[in-house]
Every structure is written in structure tokens, then in C-alpha cells.
Amino acid sequence: MTVEQPTEESVRAPGRDWFQSAVVYQIYPRSFADSNGDGIGDLRGIISKLDYLHGLGVDVVWLSPIYTSPQDDNGYDISDYRNVDPLFGTLEELRELTDGLHARGMKLVMDLVVNHTSDEHPWFIESRSSKDNPKRDWYWWRPPREAADGSADGPGVAPKNTAPNNWGSAFSGPAWEFDQATGEYYLHIFSRKQPDLNWENPQVRAAVYEMMNWWLDRGVDGFRMDVINFISKDTALPDGPIAAGMLYGDGTPFYIGGPRIHEFLQEMHREVFAGRTGPLLTVGEMPGVTVDEAILFTDPARAEVDMVFQFEHVALDQEDGNKWRPKKLKLTDLKATLGHWQTGLAERGWNSLYWGNHDQARAVSRFGDDGPYRELSAKMLAGILHLHRGTPYVYQGEELGMTNMTFGAISDYRDIEVLNHHREATTHLGHTDAEVLAALAPLNRDNARTPVQWDASRHAGFTTGSPWIAVNPNANHINAAAQVDDPDSVYSFYRSVIALRHSEPVVSHGDFTMLLPRDEHVYAFVRSLPDTRLLVLGNFSGQDQDVTLDDADVPLAWGSAELVLGNYPADAAVPRLHLRPWELKVFRAGAARPDR
């Protein structure tokens, strides 16, 4: 079937324009604000901070899962899609939160986790109860394949080496769990308590769409869809290649972007979003997605999702994409990757822009300098990211320049991904505890999950009780109370960057041109519309840098260009194209020169 190509006017139509100029703020509820002293953040805590979010200027709040859950993976294992876990509050409080956001001109996006459920979800409890249960086919069940030696460990125990295929779980260990009651295995790409739903079954899809409509009817403004490109799988479930030093096969070629993924997303759009009025947002988290695939997913004419989260730039500081083998990031690699995405989605589709989230390390520790240049580099990173073409995401605490945490022992960690890897690496892969802890430190997810630092009081004002995970000790000088009213703070700089996006159409709609692609220290680009140009310069180093630009490539009238944003005090003695350590400069000029 030939798909009609959208015009520039359709891409910039009012229905899409709202999120093209918007900024999204992600809240990880258990670490945001605790209202009742149990050490876990909650909805009432979020409600108490709505004016803080409104003051920052964000347009959308994305809420990580607050559904009923055993909390095996901090809520990404859902046992009831239509209720709030008592840890976080009630449906009534969620309604109050939604109303409070709407009253302040903000929208609420919920996390949608439908690649898998909890093993305590009623659907799975029924599914595992017997082979002939009507919901058996709602999940991926397979009988053991015959072992080479036909051996078993005893009655009711899986024969050795008989998993249906050799796939490994994203959380270490095998991707299959043997169920003694029925003598079959079920698939879990993540934790064994997160069985994968079988989207081949139309009843599963119908149940998911019904649930999504229920939330939209309650006033929710859209969904961020967790690993949504995993929902279509190669039904043959073949073995995957086993990389050197790994225990299990790589199943991603058979469940990332599977054969029916576009069909499923288009069906979801028809059944849930088509015909609804008002601005809604659909964001697909898609590990392994390519630019060419993202064009298809986000092309408005195809009606799948509004934007995707891609992971290329957050894999550049890892050996072979393995986060437990970190390496130094090269700025030229970062520019090449982000520039490729800017160019690839320039005509169709839309970019999501982010440095961090609940699954990534803290932005200033990873991409900036969390030592003497913490504030300057946090501001520079904000300017560089938000002035790209796309919708920027701010992860809680990023607007304060919060940093990575130092965890002294494995007992300090809470993340199932870390705990499983440590166990496997020290017991099966032969690594020492010290080796594993050193490898975990830079990129582990708990770096981003320490509580938001509200003030310099005990536990940073997050809770009056004992926090579920330790507060970063630097809260005594990195906190919201010290920044909200300080015009030179990181928080205030984020306000300025967000305001610039809201006020300048060139930021949301302008063309993007990367400059200096081979420079290892300076990130430079131009945003342009017929009547406006922005030149954005960022120094990704702790040394002064002189910037040399080819004037033929930068159609700015330098004599009249205005410095509209910077993270240093203005100093006429500093040349316009000289950058101090971690400096950001943004120049604005009017129409291009007549000779262009």
C-alpha cells in the first residue's frame, strides 16, 4: 500500500505543534517526594510540588508506573492496570494530581507497560493454572525441548538445558522460567516475575486497548510506552547468537521490531486514539530502533506514535553496548549520532531529546563535569539538548544538576538489574566483587533513583522517615531550596532555556545544521527559519576553546547577532567565538544576508 507523504504544513499542523514546542518532565514517583514518612515517594508528595513544576515552565509530566505492583522492578511489573498501588496513594489522589496539572496548563502522560505484566497479575495467574485455561495463550508458553542426554533433576523439575531457546534475559540469567505445575516454560525478556504478553492473541490486544481507553476517559493525556517495539516477536522463537564471554544467546533480532509491530501500533491508534479530540501524546520507548525505522514509527501519515526514544547516544560510552564495560565518550561520536537523528527525521517524524531518565546515569556526571564545573556543565548540557529539533525531556533533579551517587557495597543498591548482574558476574563469570562494583559505578540505574534533593535538611527534605534508597550526601549544597530563587542557579537556567523554546519558533520548527563535526571539544549547530537564525556553541571540556567557523556555512550577521543565552556572565572582553570551560553561547540573528 502506498502511504501518502505528509506536507510540511501537515507536520507542523496544530495537532502536532503543541508537543513540538513542549517540554516533558519525568517523575520517578518513589524518589520524588514522600508525604507520609514511609520513605517512598507518593502522589500526595507530587501534588505538593506542582507549583515547583509550573515554575520551571514544563508542559507535560510523565509519571513512571504507579499501578498496583509487587515492585519486583519498581513498578514496571504491573498486577493491576486500573488501580494505584497503595505505596503511592489512591485513584482519587491521581485524579487530584491530574486536575492540578490541568489547572496549571500542564498535561499528564502515564507509563504504559504492556510488553509484560507481573506474574501476580490475574491474567497470568489464570494462564499458568493449567494448559487448557482460556488465558493460557495470553503469554508465551513452550514445552521443554529434549535435552541432549535426556536427563532431568527429578520429578516436576525441568530437564537440564531444555529451555525453548537460548535467549538471555535483559536482567541477566535465562529468558525462560520453568513452571513445575504445568511442565512448561514461560518467556520473560526481563525479570522472571515479568512474563511477556503474547500480542499474537487478539484478546490480549483488545484487553490492552480497553484499558488504555479507560485511562484516557479519566483525563490522562497520553502514554509513554515501555519497550513497545518488543511486543511483536518471531513466533518461531529461534536461538540467538552467543557473544564471547556471554552465557546466553542474543534474542533481540527476534523480538525487537518484530514482523507485526507496525500493524499492532496502527491498530492501537485506531482503537484508542482515532477520533479523540484534544492534544494527546504517544511516546514509544524503542531500544535498538534505527533512524529508518523511527521515520516509519513517527510519520504522522502512518498514525503509529508521535515520537520514539532511541538509545544510540546512550550506548556510545559502552564497549559493544554493554553498560557494565564503560568507556570514555568521544564528542565526535555523540555529534555524529545526534546529528544523524536530526537529519533523518527532518522531513518526517519527530525526535525525543534526552540526556537521562530513570534507566540512565545522571546527565552531568555522564556527559558533563560533576566536579568544579558542575553548574556550568549542567547548564551547557541543557542548552545543547533543548535547542535541538525535537521534544526535550527533563528527568527529575536534572534541573538542579544532581549527580551520580557513590555506592560503597552491593548491599547499597536496590535495582534488580544491578543485583542480578552482580550475582551472575561473581558466581558464573569469575569476576571479583571489587571488579564488578567498579564496573557498575558509572552507568547503573540507581544513580538516577536517589531521592530528589529538596533542601539541606535530613534526607534532603524528601522524607521524614528512612528513605528506600540513600540520599546523595551532596544534598547539603545541591538542592531546590538553594536554587529556585537564585537567578544564577541551574534551575533558573533551565527556566530560561525552556522559555526560549516556548518563545522562539525557530527552536521548535527550524532546520538543523551541524557544524564542526570533527571537533572533539566544541558542539556547534545552527537552527534556521527564513527570518531567524540561532547559532549554538557548547564547550564540552574544561579548557578554553577558540571556535573557528567557515562564514559560508554560518549565515549570521555577526555584527548584529544578539547573545540570547549563555551560562557565564556577559564579558565584552571575551571574543564572541571564544568559549571558556563548559561555556554555552547562543546567538540570534534575523533574516539571512541578501547574498545567501
Report pLDDT for 152. 46
For residue 122, the tally of other CB atoms under 10 A from its CB is 12
Give the pLDDT confidence of 80-105 residue by residue, as tens digits.
999 999 999 999 999 999 999 999 99
Rounded Cα distance between 484 and 486, Å, is 6
3-class SS of residue 546: strand
Average pLDDT, the chain: 91
Q: Is the pLDDT of residue 437 over 80?
A: yes
Residue 51 buriedness (CB in 10 A; 0-12 / 13-18 / 19+) = exposed
Q: Is the pLDDT of residue 10 over 50?
A: no
Decide: 131 and 184 in contact? Cβ < 8 Å.
Answer: yes
Band of pLDDT at residue 444, cut at 50, 70 and 90:
confident
Band of pLDDT at residue 1, cut at 50, 70 and 90:
very low
SS3 content of the chain, % helix, strand, coil (to 5): 30, 15, 50
**Share of residues in the chain with pLDDT > 90 (%):** 78
Mean per-residue pLDDT, 509-516: 96
| Cell numbers linked to 262 | 507496525
Give the Å distances, CA to CA, from 138 to 200, 201, 203, 294, 442: 8, 6, 8, 28, 38
Report pLDDT for 438. 84
Give the Å distances, CA to CA, from 546 to 367, 369, 384, 575: 21, 20, 18, 9
Mean per-residue pLDDT, 417-436: 86
Report pLDDT for 171. 86
Residue with cell 527533563: 394
| Half-sphere exposure (Cβ direction) of 274: Cα atoms closer than 13 Å | 13
Report pLDDT for 570. 87
Residues 6+ apart with CB under 8 A from 285: 224, 225, 226, 227, 228, 308, 309
Report pLDDT for 11. 38
Per the model's pLDDT, the better-predicted residue between 590 and 463 turns out to be 463
Which one from 72, 221, 226, 304 is the annotated catalytic residue? 226
Report pLDDT for 484. 98
Q: Is the pLDDT of residue 557 over 70?
A: no
Report pLDDT for 414. 85
Report pLDDT for 211. 98
Listed range (314-323, 350-359, 505-514, 541-550) with the worst mean pLDDT: 314-323
For residue 93, the tally of other CB atoms under 10 A from its CB is 18
Rounded Cα distance between 102 and 95, Å, is 11
**Share of residues in the chain with pLDDT > 70 (%):** 92
Report pLDDT for 160. 64
| Cell numbers linked to 23 | 517540554
Rounded Cα distance between 110 and 67, Å, is 10
Mean per-residue pLDDT, 520-540: 96
Decide: 290 and 252 in contact? Cβ < 8 Å.
Answer: no
Decide: 58 and 24 in contact? Cβ < 8 Å.
Answer: yes
CA-based R_g, the chain, Å: 24
| Cell numbers linked to 408 | 560503597
Which one from 42, 119, 184, 285 is the annotated catalytic residue? 285
Q: Is the pLDDT of residue 575 over 70?
A: yes
Report pLDDT for 324. 81
Residue 87 phi/psi, 5-degree rounding, is: -55, -35
Note the helical H segments in 280-330: 291-298
Decide: 596 and 555 in contact? Cβ < 8 Å.
Answer: yes
Give the Å distances, CA to CA, from 189 to 166, 180, 197, 229, 582: 12, 20, 10, 13, 40
Residue 488 buriedness (CB in 10 A; 0-12 / 13-18 / 19+) = exposed
Decide: 503 and 509 in contact? Cβ < 8 Å.
Answer: no
Listed range (268-282, 289-303, 320-334, 393-407) with the worst mean pLDDT: 320-334
Report pLDDT for 147. 60
Band of pLDDT at residue 482, cut at 50, 70 and 90:
very high
Any idea what the Cα angle at residue 181 is, between residues 176 and 185, rounded to 5°? Answer: 15
Helix (H) and strand (E) counts in the chain: 17, 22
Per the model's pLDDT, the better-predicted residue between 13 and 501 turns out to be 501
The question of whether 226 is a catalytic residue gets the answer yes
Q: From its phi and psi, is residue 89 left (phi > 0), alpha (psi between -120 and 50) or beta?
A: left
Amino acid found at 255: Y
For residue 38, the tally of other CB atoms under 10 A from its CB is 15
Residue with cell 545552527: 526
Report pLDDT for 14. 45
DSSP strand E in 334-423: where? 352-353, 391-395
Beta-strand pair 532-539/545-546: unpaired
Listed range (197-201, 219-223, 273-277, 485-489) with the worst mean pLDDT: 273-277
Closest CA to 454 of 482, 477, 480: 480
Residues 6+ apart with CB under 8 A from 552: none
Q: Is the pLDDT of residue 486 over 70?
A: yes
Mean per-residue pLDDT, 486-507: 97
| Cell numbers linked to 70 | 509487587
Residue 346 buriedness (CB in 10 A; 0-12 / 13-18 / 19+) = middle
Residues 6+ apart with CB under 8 A from 122: 79, 80
Q: Is the pLDDT of residue 508 over 60?
A: yes
Mean per-residue pLDDT, 289-303: 96
Q: Is the pLDDT of residue 9 over 90?
A: no
Q: Is the pLDDT of residue 461 over 70?
A: yes
Closest CA to 288 of 317, 325, 326, 250: 250
Any idea what the Cα angle at residue 527 is, between residues 521 and 532, rounded to 5°? Answer: 135
Q: Is the pLDDT of residue 372 over 90?
A: yes
Report pLDDT for 6. 35
Decide: 104 and 50 in contact? Cβ < 8 Å.
Answer: yes
Strand partners, 546: 578
Report pLDDT for 579. 97
Residues 6+ apart with CB under 8 A from 402: 362, 364, 450, 452, 453, 472, 478
DSSP strand E in 295-367: where? 307-309, 318-319, 322-326, 352-353
Give the pLDDT confidence of 145-195 residue by residue, as tens digits.
976 444 444 444 555 679 999 999 998 899 999 999 999 999 999 999 999
| Cell numbers linked to 112 | 504504559
Q: Is the pLDDT of residue 142 over 80?
A: yes
The question of whether 446 is a catalytic residue gets the answer no
Report pLDDT for 325. 87
Q: Which helix (H) or strand (E) holds 440?
A: helix 433-440
What letter does residue 472 receive in the DSSP assignment? P
Report pLDDT for 590. 80
Mean per-residue pLDDT, 349-378: 96
Rounded Cα distance between 351 and 428, Å, is 40
Give the pLDDT confidence of 306-360 residue by residue, as tens digits.
999 999 999 999 888 788 888 999 999 999 999 999 999 998 899 999 999 998 9
| Cell numbers linked to 169 | 534475559
Mean per-residue pLDDT, 431-448: 85
Total length of the chain: 596
